[in-house]
A and B are shown apart, each in its own frame.
Chain A
Amino acid sequence: MKLKGGGMTFYADSKYPVNDELSGAHALQFEKFAQAGTWGTADQRLAVIAEARQAGIEAGLLEAPEDGGAESTVTLPEELCAVIRTLAVDCKAVDMETYQRARAAGLSDPEYAELVAIVSFVVDLDVFARGIGVPLRPFRDPQPGNPLRDIPEEAVPEKAFVPTIPNVPDCGPFGTELYGGHFKPYIMRGLSLVPDEYRAHVALEQAQYNPLPKVPVVEYCHHAGLTRPQVEVVAGRVSALNDCFY
């Protein structure tokens, strides 16, 4: 299956309706996978997400699609593959040692943050496809381009494994703009060492869960047919199964 066009056609094969906001956000993320990131080339990023997806298939958590799309020419070090696989299929086992193994395999902090981001995003998109009963979407051909490799000077060590940009008002002008001038919980700021991945994280969050300003509004319903308590049952149960304390 070759995907053409934008969000409106992205899940055209679904038996169940998928709104344009979700389709568009997911189509855009698949395009981002195929572009150079801040730290990885497109071919390297494709190798990472392909490893994560393959781990899910081998664990029985995903069904192999007939057309998985583009394949990377990059061979990742075995130590890095182990980190990617743990993050993809055994989230509850991920800890500081996982991070230290990634660093020992040669990743810098921002490279690790980008890896965590794109593995988390591809798991997200694959869970969604499985959740509505369509084949996993094919990966797109990697596009040429070089990573910018820039580190936001506002990022500092806080309480996470990697530096993050603090909340307003300690985040400088760049952080203030990135956060829209508002408080952001750590779950969002966690990827701020790589601002482009932070923005992608926010975009998925807003389409899939709630627009951020609406998160505290319990009466707000973002998904057709679902009340906020019903949404929280699914959210809470998934996180419990993943042993996620956060």
Chain B
Amino acid sequence: MNPEALVRPELDTGVPHGAVLLAYADAVIGTELDALDNARTAVAEALGPGAVSGVAAVAANFSKNDRVANGIGIPIDDMVFKGTGELREQLGLNAYKSAENTFRHMTSD
């Protein structure tokens, strides 16, 4: 998988039907209902009707986790922090406001 496509969705994810999944993720937490209806149909056509509840569940789960993480102010775990310096830089993650919760406790490697 190309992780850069997660922040630059015009890029290829390297995952089958990745563009369909990116469009669904954008739509399900966006404001355009028509876009969501189209994205949901595209998921069902590309991956089967049974996959729709799966992608919805994953989007829902990370909507939860992002709020828990930012709301409680948790830093990323030490072992993840130590192994992801280059990736964080590449994706621009260090500029996220929520990065403060980590950099309050750790120095960037």
Instruction: Write the chain B residue with the least CB distance to A242.
Output: B66
- Give the residue of A116, A125, A238 whose beta carbon is less than 8 angstroms from that of B25: A238
* A124 and B60 contact, Cβ closer than 8 Å, known pairs A232-B1, A240-B7: yes
Contact B77 A123 (CB under 8 A): no
Q: Which of B28, B40, B55, B70 has the most CB of A within 10 A?
A: B70
* A71 cross-chain contacts in B, Cβ below 8 A: none
- Quote the shortest CB–CB distance from B18 to chain A (angstroms): 5
Contact A225 B28 (CB under 8 A): no
* A162 cross-chain contacts in B, Cβ below 8 A: 72-73
Whether, in the assembled complex, A143 has its beta carbon less than 8 Å from a beta carbon of chain B, the answer is: no
Q: How far is the CA of A93 from the CA of B73 in the complex (A)?
A: 12
- Would you give 12 A-B contacts (Cβ < 8 Å), ordered by A? A17-B50, A61-B30, A95-B98, A99-B73, A127-B59, A128-B60, A131-B52, A186-B77, A204-B61, A204-B64, A235-B61, A245-B99
Contact B61 A131 (CB under 8 A): no
- Quote the shortest CB–CB distance from B97 to chain A (angstroms): 6
Interface residues on B, range: 35 or more
Contact B97 A191 (CB under 8 A): no
* A120 and B74 contact, Cβ closer than 8 Å, known pairs A225-B50, A230-B15: no
* B16 cross-chain contacts in A, Cβ below 8 A: 227, 230
Q: In the complex, which residues 14-56 of chain B have their Cβ closer than 8 Å to any Cβ of chain A? A: 15-18, 21-22, 24-26, 28-31, 33, 36-37, 40, 44, 47-56
Contact B67 A187 (CB under 8 A): no
- Which secondary structure dominates where chain B touches chain A? helix
Interface residues on A, range: 35 or more
> Which residues of B are at the interface with A, using a C-beta cutoff of 8 A?
1, 3, 5-7, 9, 13, 15-18, 21-22, 24-26, 28-31, 33, 36-37, 40, 44, 47-77, 91, 93-94, 96-102, 104-105
* B59 cross-chain contacts in A, Cβ below 8 A: 127-128, 131, 234-235, 238
Instruction: Write the chain B residue with the least CB distance to A184.
Output: B77
* B33 cross-chain contacts in A, Cβ below 8 A: 63
Whether, in the assembled complex, A98 has its beta carbon less than 8 Å from a beta carbon of chain B, the answer is: yes
Q: How far is the CA of A16 from the CA of B9 in the complex (A)?
A: 26
Q: In the complex, which residues 1-55 of chain A have their Cβ closer than 8 Å to any Cβ of chain B? A: 11, 14-19, 22
Q: How far is the CA of A19 from the CA of B53 in the complex (A)?
A: 8
Bitwise interface map of A from 136 to 165 toward B, beta carbon under 8 Å scored 1, else 0: 000000000000000000000001111010
- Give the residue of B6, B69, B93, B104 whose beta carbon is less than 8 angstroms from that of A233: B6
